[in-house]
Amino acid sequence: MADLLVIGAELVATVDAERREIRGGWVAITDGLVSAIGGPEQTPPAAARTLRADGCLVTPGLVNTHHHIYQNLTRSFAPALGGTLFNWLKTLYPLWSRLDEEAVHTSAYVGLTELALGGCTTTTDHLYVHPRGGGDLITAEIAAAQQLGMRFHPTRGSMSLSVKDGGLPPDSVVQEPDEILDDSARLVAKHHDPSHGAMVRIALAPCSPFSVSPELMTATAELAEELDVRLHTHLAEDPEEDDYCLAVFGRRPIDQFAEVGWGSDRAWVAHCICPNPEEIERLGTWGTGVAHCPSSNMILGGGLAPVAEMRAAGVPVGLGCDGSSSADSASLWLEARTAMLLGRLRQGAGAMSARDALEMATRGGAACLGRAGEIGVLAVGSVGDLVVWPLDGIAYAGALSDPIDAWLRCGPTAARHTVVAGRTVVENGLPVDSDLPEMLSRHRRIAAGIQAAFENAG
């Protein structure tokens, strides 16, 4: 007897090794894992609970490979909106220096709920601001994920270079290297679950080449190797970063990345807008993953990431909605659609299909997180994470011939049901957990307090 049976789908897009697409398909989930998949000609198992998916597309749960959830507390913050990446950061760091456990827990609850509504079932979070006296922020956000039932990969972010060292952040939000490494090891011991089907995994994530020292980058890579956890950072996000790295390190960002011991399949990096052809080949050889963040890249004007070239070179490419105050929206459906549009704008209509975008949002993301075959795919033994997408109503009227193309060309849309480990997180388009109204009002109070810091300082 299965725990959950999702049945009657217009199409089940498994995104499995054979890319099977099953008309009229069904998926059974038992003990948190997919236990059977079939079509109308196979008899599904009996199940404790059945969800109908008539007229819907069923996909694996989408995987978000880059985010800064706490930034939803400074969303669309007017004083920061017109500048370059570096100006934007310098405006916002003083506000983020007010983060504490309550702020992070509340922002995570709201942000994770938003992600679930957009079809995400596994998300990372890159939390790199750890203000002095702010408390255990990563544990606070994990509590929100556990309450909601989301699969969560928080990364222990860090910054060690402040303004006085030639970095961008103020002194109050950077930490000493030893403190960062000790806390990283503590969080891995406390939360990281290496087992198949794990709900929480930790990765180590210095913010960027210009916010930590090369020594800390190297020490972090060594610690990740020792603890067998993954590595994440921002890389090649902006032409200004090329200039900075050449001036400070005497080499380009990806050369510096290799120099500090990060060129491996243990790492995945955010953005990667500016690699040259030779650097793309190196990323592919290393197996270093890339979190492509189309909305954020467009809003910050960083440029067009060479996504097709990276995928052709064997680079695992996933999607990220990126920080809540750079991309401001957190829907992986929207990022998948935008990735498709950008790919076509860049190289022509044949360059990026809806299936390519779906693949990045699922298999690509799984590869970035070192969980290929386990998440981001519907196959027997993979996790029971899936999304039931409505293909009805005005937006889909007339789109009868290809449910996957329709899913991204029409819209906008959100998940009808989001299932994580066989349990619904979103049902009939609404969050299952009942705390959202209370958490939204708390979020508004905390956000207003943090944003008031700007006026007080200014």
> Least Å distance between CB 71 and Zn ion?
9
| Contact indicator for 290, 269 with CB cutoff of 8 Å | yes
Query: By rule CB under 5 A, what count of residues binds Zn ion?
Result: 2
Q: Which of residues 269-298 bind Zn ion (CB under 5 A)?
A: 270
Q: Which residue number, 30 or 155, has a Cβ lying nearer to Zn ion?
A: 155
> Least Å distance between CB 155 and Zn ion?
11
Contact region with Zn ion (CB under 5 A), list: 82-90, 179-187, 188-196, 263-271: 263-271
Q: Which of residues 313-332 bind Zn ion (CB under 5 A)?
A: 322
> Least Å distance between CB 324 and Zn ion?
10
Q: Which residue number, 231 or 378, has a Cβ lying nearer to Zn ion?
A: 231
Contacts of 250 (CB under 8 A, 6+ apart): none
> Least Å distance between CB 124 and Zn ion?
10
Q: Which residue number, 9 or 267, has a Cβ lying nearer to Zn ion?
A: 267
Q: Which residue number, 122 or 325, has a Cβ lying nearer to Zn ion?
A: 325
| β-pair partners for 127 | 156
> Least Å distance between CB 107 and Zn ion?
15
Instruction: Report how far residue 58's alpha carbon sits from residue 362's, in angstroms, rounded to the nearest whole number.
Output: 13
| Contact indicator for 54, 48 with CB cutoff of 8 Å | no
Q: Which residue number, 30 or 297, has a Cβ lying nearer to Zn ion?
A: 297
> Least Å distance between CB 317 and Zn ion?
16
At 437, the amino acid letter reads P
At 453, the amino acid letter reads A
CB burial string 290-313: b at 16+ within 10 A, e below: bbbbbbbbebbebeebbbeebbeb
3-state secondary structure of 155: strand
> Least Å distance between CB 61 and Zn ion?
22
Instruction: Report how far residue 217's alpha carbon sits from residue 262's, in angstroms, rounded to the nearest whole number.
Output: 8
Q: Which residue number, 90 or 409, has a Cβ lying nearer to Zn ion?
A: 90
DSSP per-residue letters across 310-362: HHHTT--EEE----TTTT----HHHHHHHHHHHHHHHH-TTS--HHHHHHIII
| Contact indicator for 307, 351 with CB cutoff of 8 Å | no
Instruction: Report how far residue 146's alpha carbon sits from residue 65's, in angstroms, rounded to the nearest whole number.
Output: 19
DSSP per-residue letters across 232-264: EEEES--HHHHHHHHHHTSS-HHHHHHHTT--S
Contact region with Zn ion (CB under 5 A), list: 92-100, 239-247, 264-272, 417-425: 264-272
Q: Which residue number, 37 or 129, has a Cβ lying nearer to Zn ion?
A: 129
| Contact indicator for 172, 448 with CB cutoff of 8 Å | no
Q: Which residue number, 66 or 416, has a Cβ lying nearer to Zn ion?
A: 66
| Contact indicator for 138, 154 with CB cutoff of 8 Å | yes
- Report CA 53 to chain centroid distance, whole Å: 26
> Least Å distance between CB 85 and Zn ion?
10
Q: Which residue number, 128 or 407, has a Cβ lying nearer to Zn ion?
A: 128
> Least Å distance between CB 321 and Zn ion?
10
> What residue ranges bind Zn ion (CB under 5 A)?
270, 322
